[in-house]
Chains A and B, each alone.
Chain A
Amino acid sequence: MRDHVLLYINGRPEEVRGERLFQSLTDFLRYDRQLVGTKVVCAEGDCGSCCVLIGKPAGDALEYRNVTACIQYVYQLDGCHVVTVEGLRQGGQLSCVQEAMISCQGSQCGFCTPGFVVSLHAMLETRMKLTDADLRLGLSGNLCRCTGYESIIKAGVESDITNLRRANELYPPTALLSQLRPAADESVRVEHAGRVFFKPTTVDEAVRFKSENPGCIIIAGGTDLGVVMNKGKLTPTIVMSLAGLASLKSVRVEGTTLSIGGLASLAEMDVACETHLPEMSKLLRRHGSPPIRNAGTLAGNIANGSPIGDTMPGLYVLNAQIELTGTPGVRRVNINEFYTGYRKTVIRPDELITAVHIPLPAAGDAYRLYKISKRYDLDISSFSAAFWMRTSGDTIESIRIAYGGVGANILRLRKTEALLAGRPFSDDLIDRAATSARGEITPISDVRGGKDYRLQLGENILRKFFADREDNEVLTPSPGTPGEGGGEGSVAIRSAPANLQNSHPALSRDTGRGFNANGQERA
């Protein structure tokens, strides 16, 4: 059991103890280490000015991803290598990204620039070149108020990687791994001034700690908690980080079920969804931003219980099972029965979410997710919806509908489902269902939209689903999908770097993004 946190910053080890442990990474970098290239604007992960690379051991090297440092806390980063903009110097030379940003006039005021430089480097960790489409997705977590982005896209496209030294070349992994690997297998406990930090390495340890400390705050990616803590709404006295629970990292398909480990990041989940649940993958690419998805977890979203969580409705209509591990053992709860009120769940004091099991739609099932937000990317839903439907000829055999942003929790539209089930399609039926959907929801007005707007969306989105269905755009394709390895054990999915996923053809922006009939895929 270690009594401090060990992390590396720009290749140098830092043993962090006491008060300093409980700082945000940006405070630690800026005020403790005077590494002020990393800027803070919003302190809520929503602008990207604080992006750093976080490297974690993966095989015989480290895997580096960009993460918003403002909502990472130092204690979360035990066993990690943090590379800041200062650490991207290629010897005495500027990197190709930096050179291109200069020659393309990619900076104006310069405040967002270090964040963009880091995110561009993160993209080049796994790519040989950057395209316009890559950049529009890969940089969607970085806001710039001056340039209008054109020059930054140009800089990305024109970055010549001939002489680029990637993070594993700048920081030879052997030396780092010799320190970081043992650290990963070691639990950590730090007590300071009445505050406790604990990092277990086994689920048993974690469950025991949680049952002994029922008020403890559990942190995985911390993308929600970091915001709450930064805004002074929470100062936890006892924190347990799940970062050491390697067994919860896995993402697997077993039979017709996709299982997302409790510690798998949304980016890792996206890799699996791209093959096995493409509709969810499309949504995930609008969930937060790349740096948020690199840190945040699905289990964290579920535990957080926000009624506007982007992934939630899609899990409801598939009857996702939440795996809870506690002292007596493991149990599974259908997500539809998981919440008991606004941000209240059935999790017992000693339980952890260790996985989410998602039954995959069968070939021919319709599965469709919608997210409506004020801005297309890097925004929280004003309204969201999910549909799963099985038909038989012209008849709706079975349908499940869930809406988000219309009440204290995600809402299943049971009456509308009952109205539709067993009936043949007709314009009249859809009209009645749309009216029913509107009547079934009780949205409120808030900063993200008015009540009337959400009521109208509740009605229209149902119409849109059936219109999309007419264009045969909602069906789950049959070949080569789930179940292929079923029965014979499970297919483990390799977790490819998040950045690789960004060049998704479905999000090519030359055509009507998201607004065409096929939901983003019609050419």
Chain B
Amino acid sequence: MNAVGQNIPHDSARGHVTGESVFIDDMPPLKNELLVDFLPAPVASGKLKSIDLSEAAKVPGVVLLLTDKDIPGHKQFGPVFQDEHLLVEEQIVYLGDPCVLIAAESRQAIAAAKKKVKLDIEPATPIFGIEEAIEAKNFIGPLRTIMRGEPERAMLEAEYTLSGEMRIGGQEHFYLESQAAIAVPGEHGHIAIYSSTQHPSEVQAMTAEILGVPFNHVIVHCKRMGGGFGGKETQAAQPAMMAALVASKTGRPARVVYNKDDDMRYTGKRHPFLNQYTVGFTRNGLITALRVDHFSNGGCTADLSLAVMERAMLHTDNAYYLPNVHITGQVCRTNLPSNTAFRGFGGPQGVAAMENIIESVALHLGLDAMDVRRRNLYGVEDRNITPYGQVFKNNVLPQLFDELSRASDYANRRRQINAINQTDRFRLRGLACTPVKFGISFTKQHLNQGNALVNVYTDGSVMVSHGGTEMGQGVNTRVRQLVADEFGIDWKNVYVTTTSTDKNHNTSPTAASTGTDLNGAAAVVACEKIRERLRAFASQHFSDSSAALAALPGNIVFQDGHVYDDRIAGKKITFKELVAQAYLNRINLGERGFYATPGVDYNRDTGKGTPFLYYTNGAAVSEVEIDRFTGELRVTRVDLIMDIGQPINPGIDRGQVVGGFIQGMGWCTTEELKYGPGGELLSHSPTTYKIPNISDVPAVFNVRMLDNPNSSMSLKRSKAVGEPPLLLGLSVWAAVKNALSYIAPGTIPDLQLPATGEQILMIMTKLQAAGKSNRAVLSPAAK
């Protein structure tokens, strides 16, 4: 039986449930190991004039204090632009910017030393908000544009137009395992790093550069992460560099483990966005012209902000055909920690803009937003070219909408809600459906590659390593299934080992939902090469001149742990026997596979190209209930459908869908980043930053997968699933907007994201006041 398509357990599940799975800080301390932490800058902007370490150095247990001057190699780094520093040289660019590295024998010594370092700082005026940055023209990178048709003329000719703006909040990753790394010095300046990272190759490169050693002196290992969500794509590098610097200076192992408060305060998040739009449309709600200008809060450095903005722009169409469209994007530089990748990578912000526009158009015309969405949906045969010129093939969106409308009983529930919102003075209800069409591939072409190493041992067991990293999403389990099927063996005989840069080099981050697509495909390529050699060898074994059976490698079959020639009935050998014999006959039983996604490219200067191999699609209908007195929000029912092709592991993929949706729902509702006047994050722990709780899971939560044979050019007809479902959390936000629209019909509720209870109450209050003046509207005061 094939392993692909089976719901086999996550390969670490047993270790997870017993507590045996090892995360970075679970590794027992090595002899002589030092603990490392940094002293954060107390202001968000300023000049660090001098540092006095004399008192701190006297603290018992303190072993080493390092500043920028002590960095032997590159002092500037960054995934795209080299505009980041590990330690402040002179300019402090965010509150928490590391000024001094402290290595000590104990946490107590570090805490004491932090209090003794004297920083002489000349503070400057920081900028935190997008509007301030726009005013000051504080930008990162150029303004980018995607344009199609004649948006200006179409806007002038439009039957209706509507303008507005929307603020979209950031989001803390809240991976449970904070950033962490251990560096172990080796001989001749070599170093081994154990890192909780989505991108071992980048950790390797950054560490080598900051130490001033060749890349081949650094090996980075990542067994697993306690969650990543994009937060460990680039920003796992800093703790690794800190540990490496200390290890290299002292010759002692060094460990960096951020505590949750510091991790939340000082690392980047999902980008807050501001978008301004003008939309032109017909009386039926068909969009004829659209202009959207996106601004994002990039924080203090570029990090991945330009690519995030690019994806926001590429997803502004979401599921809708826009004949005349002009989209711009500008990243703003502020004095916040540098914002970074987060599941969806700009896609959610682009789609939020579009779904807000759709809801507003529907309210303006008095139409059901569901109908407006249907009307604007991409066509299957025509109206199927995106604003950037990619043809949207295999469009299943109309089918998804039909199935979901039926399954969710949308029309009936809409009628019920219309009625009940007129009579219920306690509760206000809302209902909305939002789709997702998420482009799969890195928009940076060169990242669309993966490599994998497959070793077949003489006992028939197989060890695989690949460039992907395991953060819970199940890439290792899926690779295990793929490899097992290539050799026709039990998946239990395949083990996927720790990701490391000595086995798999020049790897791409495990990101953009491509972990399995790239690395699984590379593993399959490696298996195919080994299989070719085994086929040739086996065909000799099965050939029989007396029976006039020539050796035909193409007839050799690997199945159910056995190998046979499909022309000969009843004669089989086990895979184990075959490889044992092959070894004795000096057949190479190991291979490295390489895969590059064919045909994807995007020209960011022209805003045109075919950046995606395919799209993963889905849609969700959410119903919400709001307390009219308090603004408290509850998601009462969600119906969700995803097209993920033929899943490699349906159980794991369902986990991605449900987990992604709930994470998106959190971003849209309770997850609010609050800052103090000095740029200090106030919501820096789970006490004040509220991710969804188990009791927030909708009481009715129907999740189904579209049975799609999937003709996309994808791995085993599967589709990437990591990010797309997160965007369906926007259906909850849209349902809130819909609910609020019942208070003062004709007025479009000015709802920002997240839709916190506080915002909901304040909008309700405002709308009630407005509504009272022209018509009798139900309100808490009315009887």
Check if A409 is an interface residue, CB within 8 A of chain B: no
Check if B781 is an interface residue, CB within 8 A of chain A: yes
Check if B661 is an interface residue, CB within 8 A of chain A: yes
Chain B contacts for A114, CB-based, 8 A = 16-19
B697 and A46: CB pair below 8 A?
A: no
Binds A, one of B225-233, B364-372, B601-609, B741-749: B225-233
A373 to chain B, nearest CB (A): 8
B693 and A49: CB pair below 8 A?
A: no
Check if B14 is an interface residue, CB within 8 A of chain A: yes
0/1 interface trace, chain B 623-654, chain A, CB 8 Å (1 if under): 00111011010101000000000000001101
Q: Which of B684-736 contact A (CB under 8 A)?
A: 685-688, 690-697, 699, 701, 703
Chain A contacts for B678, CB-based, 8 A = none
Q: Which of B222-262 contact A (CB under 8 A)?
A: 224-229, 259-261
Chain A contacts for B783, CB-based, 8 A = 427
Residue of B nearest to A510 (CB): B699
Known: A107-B13, A140-B693, A467-B426. A512 touches B634 (CB 8 A): yes
Residue of A nearest to B427 (CB): A515
A39 and B176: CB pair below 8 A?
A: yes
Residue of B nearest to A448 (CB): B688
Partner of B688, one of A41, A146, A447: A447
B694 and A136: CB pair below 8 A?
A: yes
Check if B178 is an interface residue, CB within 8 A of chain A: yes
Partner of A377, one of B177, B695, B781: B695
Check if B572 is an interface residue, CB within 8 A of chain A: no
Partner of B659, one of A47, A148, A448, A510: A148
Q: Which of B169-207 contact A (CB under 8 A)?
A: 173-178
Q: Which of A435-469 contact B (CB under 8 A)?
A: 446-450, 452-453, 456-457, 460-461, 463-464, 467
A146 and B694: CB pair below 8 A?
A: no
A517 and B229: CB pair below 8 A?
A: no
Residue of A nearest to B626 (CB): A515
Known: A105-B654, A145-B175, A147-B659. A447 touches B695 (CB 8 A): no
A139 to chain B, nearest CB (A): 5
Partner of B780, one of A146, A149, A464: A464
Partner of B762, one of A109, A144, A452, A461: A452
A152 and B694: CB pair below 8 A?
A: yes
0/1 interface trace, chain B 207-228, chain A, CB 8 Å (1 if under): 0000000000000000011111
Check if A142 is an interface residue, CB within 8 A of chain B: yes
Residue of B nearest to A88 (CB): B18
A192 to chain B, nearest CB (A): 14
Q: How far is the CA of A24 from the CA of B71 in the complex (A)?
A: 36
Interface bin, chain B: 35 or more
B306 to chain A, nearest CB (A): 27
Max chain B CB contacts within 10 Å: which of A143, A144, A146?
A: A146
Check if A78 is an interface residue, CB within 8 A of chain B: no
Q: Which of B651-676 contact A (CB under 8 A)?
A: 651-652, 654-655, 658-663, 670, 672, 674
A18 to chain B, nearest CB (A): 15
Interface bin, chain A: 35 or more
A520 to chain B, nearest CB (A): 11
Known: A105-B9, A380-B687. A86 touches B19 (CB 8 A): yes
A148 and B697: CB pair below 8 A?
A: yes
B697 and A111: CB pair below 8 A?
A: no
Residue of A nearest to B661 (CB): A148
B17 to chain A, nearest CB (A): 4
Known: A41-B178, A108-B10, A150-B697. A98 touches B18 (CB 8 A): yes
Check if A125 is an interface residue, CB within 8 A of chain B: no
Chain A contacts for B686, CB-based, 8 A = 41-42, 44, 46-47, 143
Check if B28 is an interface residue, CB within 8 A of chain A: yes
Residue of A nearest to B658 (CB): A148
B661 and A108: CB pair below 8 A?
A: no
Check if A153 is an interface residue, CB within 8 A of chain B: yes
Check if B20 is an interface residue, CB within 8 A of chain A: yes
Q: How far is the CA of A461 from the CA of B259 in the complex (A)?
A: 38
Residue of A nearest to B172 (CB): A145
Chain B contacts for A449, CB-based, 8 A = 758
B13 and A101: CB pair below 8 A?
A: yes
B17 and A149: CB pair below 8 A?
A: no
* Interface of B (DSSP majority class): loop
B780 and A460: CB pair below 8 A?
A: yes
Binds B, one of A30-38, A175-183, A211-219, A316-324: A30-38
Check if B111 is an interface residue, CB within 8 A of chain A: yes
Partner of A457, one of B652, B655, B687, B761: B761
Q: How far is the CA of A101 from the CA of B15 in the complex (A)?
A: 11
Check if B12 is an interface residue, CB within 8 A of chain A: yes
B227 and A146: CB pair below 8 A?
A: yes
Chain A contacts for B658, CB-based, 8 A = 147-151
A85 and B28: CB pair below 8 A?
A: no
Q: Which of A358-389 contact B (CB under 8 A)?
A: 370, 372, 374-380, 382
Check if A269 is an interface residue, CB within 8 A of chain B: no
Q: How far is the CA of A456 from the CA of B676 in the complex (A)?
A: 23
Check if A84 is an interface residue, CB within 8 A of chain B: yes
Residue of A nearest to B111 (CB): A232
Q: Which of B463-516 contact A (CB under 8 A)?
A: 471-474
B735 to chain A, nearest CB (A): 15
B761 to chain A, nearest CB (A): 6
Q: How far is the CA of A449 from the CA of B651 in the complex (A)?
A: 39
A108 and B659: CB pair below 8 A?
A: yes
Known: A109-B176, A150-B658, A449-B758. A463 touches B781 (CB 8 A): yes
Residue of B nearest to A111 (CB): B226
Check if B82 is an interface residue, CB within 8 A of chain A: no
A464 and B629: CB pair below 8 A?
A: yes
Q: Which of B43-68 contact A (CB under 8 A)?
A: none
Check if B26 is an interface residue, CB within 8 A of chain A: yes
Chain A contacts for B659, CB-based, 8 A = 108, 145-148
Known: A98-B18, A107-B12, A463-B781. A143 touches B693 (CB 8 A): yes
Partner of A41, one of B260, B636, B662: B260
Check if A112 is an interface residue, CB within 8 A of chain B: yes
Check if B42 is an interface residue, CB within 8 A of chain A: no
A228 to chain B, nearest CB (A): 12
Q: How far is the CA of A417 from the CA of B227 in the complex (A)?
A: 51
Chain B contacts for A97, CB-based, 8 A = 17
Residue of B nearest to A286 (CB): B695
B19 and A38: CB pair below 8 A?
A: yes
A461 and B630: CB pair below 8 A?
A: yes
27 residue pairs from A and B, CB less than 8 Å apart: A36-B25, A39-B176, A41-B260, A43-B259, A85-B18, A94-B17, A105-B654, A106-B17, A109-B175, A109-B176, A109-B225, A109-B471, A114-B16, A136-B697, A149-B662, A153-B697, A227-B687, A374-B670, A376-B695, A376-B696, A378-B693, A380-B687, A427-B783, A447-B683, A456-B762, A512-B634, A513-B634
Known: A377-B693, A460-B761, A467-B780. 5 other contacts (CB 8 A): A37-B20, A111-B175, A372-B632, A375-B692, A463-B780
What 8 pairs between A and B have smallest CB-CB spacing? Answer: A37-B19, A109-B472, A111-B226, A110-B16, A108-B472, A148-B662, A85-B19, A36-B26
- Residues of chain A whose beta carbon lies under 8 Å from any beta carbon of chain B: 30-31, 34, 36-39, 41-44, 46-47, 49, 84-86, 89, 94, 97-98, 101-114, 117, 135-137, 139-140, 142-153, 227, 231-232, 370, 372, 374-380, 382, 427, 431, 434, 446-450, 452-453, 456-457, 460-461, 463-464, 467, 509-510, 512-517
- Residues of chain B whose beta carbon lies under 8 Å from any beta carbon of chain A: 7, 9-10, 12-23, 25-26, 28-29, 111, 173-178, 224-229, 259-261, 425-427, 471-474, 625-627, 629-630, 632, 634, 636, 651-652, 654-655, 658-663, 670, 672, 674, 682-683, 685-688, 690-697, 699, 701, 703, 756-758, 761-762, 765, 780-781, 783
